[in-house]
Chains A and B, each alone.
Chain A
Amino acid sequence: MGIKVVERHGNTFKEKIYLHAVFSGMKTTLKHFTANLRDASNLPTLCYPEQKPTDITPRYRGVHRLTHRKEDDSIACVACFMCATACPANCIEIVAADREDGRDEKMPQVFNIDLLECVFCGYCVEACPCDAIRMDSGIYSVIGECREDFIYNKAKLLSIQGISKEEFSLAK
């Protein structure tokens, strides 16, 4: 491995008194200050929550949702536990059961995501072989009054709409 010798800065008199660096920093701040004072419409800051972000795309990792099958609008999840296995926060609780409608053999009886534990990493979406769990809801804010409000169950996850073009599961 090669070694790159880097010149050591900060030893000159000009650098040691810091004044030059302070004033050059203040120059930038002052430039922005006067520009923003003249025209406030260009400010990138949002007055959240009165103002809402407009740049949430389907690729934004929002709150999870469970997708439906195109054929009969039933749940796409087959309770394979891949998401629960991949989850680094261990926040997905699944109880599998026999499926009675003849579509497949297996489905989740319980599917809970604890959003307080979730780190929104998206591994569950990556792991899902059935495109049954997605984070394309665009929901960036979850509000509740108690801890239980943040445990989203199967019915709640199924009811969330996505903002991407594909509404249903793409699994074959």
Chain B
Amino acid sequence: MRITIDDISIECEEGELLIDVMLNNNINIPHFCYHQDLGADGNCRMCMVEIKGAKRPQIACDTFVKENLEVITKSENINEVKRSILELELLNHPVDCPICDQAGECKLQDYYMDYGLYESHLTTPKTKKGKAIELGSNVMLDQERCVLCTRCTRFTSEITKTGELGIIGRGDSARVGVAPGHELNNPYAMNVVELCPVGALTSKDFRFKQRVWFLDTSKSICHGCSRGCNISIDYNETKYTREKIHRFRARRNARINQSFLCDYGRLSYKELNNSFKGTSSSIEDLKELLKEDKKLALASPSLSLEQLQAIQTLCQTHNIKLFCLAYYDESFGDGWLKTNDKSANLASVKKLGICTCQEEFDAALQEAELILNFDHTLLKHQEFGNKKSVQFTSTHLPPACGYCFGFANFAHDTGTLINCEGITQKFYATRFRDKNPSLSELLEQLR
């Protein structure tokens, strides 16, 4: 089936929403309330388009495509309609962009510059509402900036089914809020920050840390559990501060995480800023050590496929027994995005045929005289008595008596992960190199 949007012919499926066709084909269509993973609500009216044959402008989020549909998104009439709608949405807006964290990625700002550019007609004082309200779960609410698109309330009522958020009041005084005495409290709560198209819901964790236009983004995969949710890593390095990762954002993948991310995964960016800061031991010493008998290696199941392959090759050439134990947490999974298996890449471990048996590992650990630990949390802080140990770590470790090698964490490395459903995905490094080499580079030196 073909439709025409702004004189461009586009192929689409029967029964698709017009707005979905436009979004999938990167046609600019302003919208607040529609979200591809929350569905249509039709309350903001920003996605008005002209349809040939229809008397009045229609909203694209409530129009299904028909054969030979002719749509116009840009015309004097439709821009005037959008300008009027936008003026209504912005009527009581406090225009406090200087102190708003959303500035720079705010739909109100974007659409005002595209369609608005009017002088306010308001002669009475603006309606005052609550500002900087802590809703719980790291979410800050500013009711004055809200455009009442109900994305957040639809998320809590339809997706998490916890229903904490609601619209209270009518007309001018309508506002988003929680019931008195209650707070926003669910393991996916911070998604509302990202869903909010304006600065009404902002993250307490990211609050005032950076202006978003200073941030760079790299495509990555969350390493919090085996789901492999797609994320964007927002980071920057300024003249005055070293490179720092400031936040994770969900990256849309309809097959895995839609546009969502659990709070655990979202806040797991913090450990990426805690890279190994000490000095690595000498590689010559390690070469000497590898001549020992009875060697054992334990690899983290969250390492990438490439890293695991490099470790496997090393273990085969030096006759080291290689193990990989899963990070299993019975209480973590929830049947949606979180899985009980907190290892990001256990599927790759199995694919490579690395031993994951706990009993065999325990027995081998008793016998071993040299222990190589590749970033596994089990052995990271353990004392080994008279046994020799080598730590390969992506996080900071206090200076210990054993040998220690730092390697770049997943934000500074490119690699492949296979998630719990067997989907293979790549993640990419940020623009800035870590001071530590990547694990593959490190192991290359041992050859």
- Name A's B-contacting residues (CB within 8 A): 78-82, 85, 90, 93, 96-98, 104-106, 112, 129-130
Contacts and interface: CB of A to CB of B under 8 A. Distances in A.
B142 to A, nearest CB: 9
B131 interface: yes
Contacts of B213: 85
Indicate the size class of the contact surface on chain B.
10 to 19
Interface in B193-241: 207-209, 211, 213-214, 238-240
B132 interface: yes
Contacts of B238: 93
A106 B140 CA distance: 14
B286 to A, nearest CB: 41
Given A85-B213, A90-B239, A97 B98 contact: no
A34 to B, nearest CB: 55
Task: Pick from A79, A81, A97 the residue with the most CB of B within 10 Å.
Answer: A81
Contacts of A105: 99, 131-132
A25 to B, nearest CB: 49
Contacts of A78: 98-99
Contact of B208 (A85, A93, A96): A96
Task: Pick from B103, B209, B240 the residue with the most CB of A within 10 Å.
Answer: B240
A93 B240 contact: yes
A104 B99 contact: yes
A85 B211 contact: yes
Nearest to B142: A105
Interface of B: 97-99, 103, 131-132, 207-209, 211, 213-214, 238-240
Contacts of A106: 98-99, 208
Given A90-B239, A105-B131, 8 more contacts: A78-B98, A80-B103, A85-B213, A85-B214, A93-B238, A93-B240, A96-B209, A104-B99
A130 B99 CA distance: 11
A107 B344 CA distance: 40
Contacts of B97: 80, 129
A102 to B, nearest CB: 10
Contacts of A90: 239
A130 B208 contact: no
Given A93-B240, A106-B99, A129-B98, A81 B131 contact: no
Given A78-B98, A104-B99, A98 B207 contact: yes
B265 to A, nearest CB: 26
A93 B131 contact: no
21 contacts: A78-B98, A78-B99, A79-B99, A79-B208, A80-B97, A80-B99, A80-B211, A81-B214, A82-B98, A85-B214, A90-B239, A93-B238, A93-B239, A93-B240, A96-B209, A98-B207, A98-B208, A105-B131, A105-B132, A129-B97, A130-B98
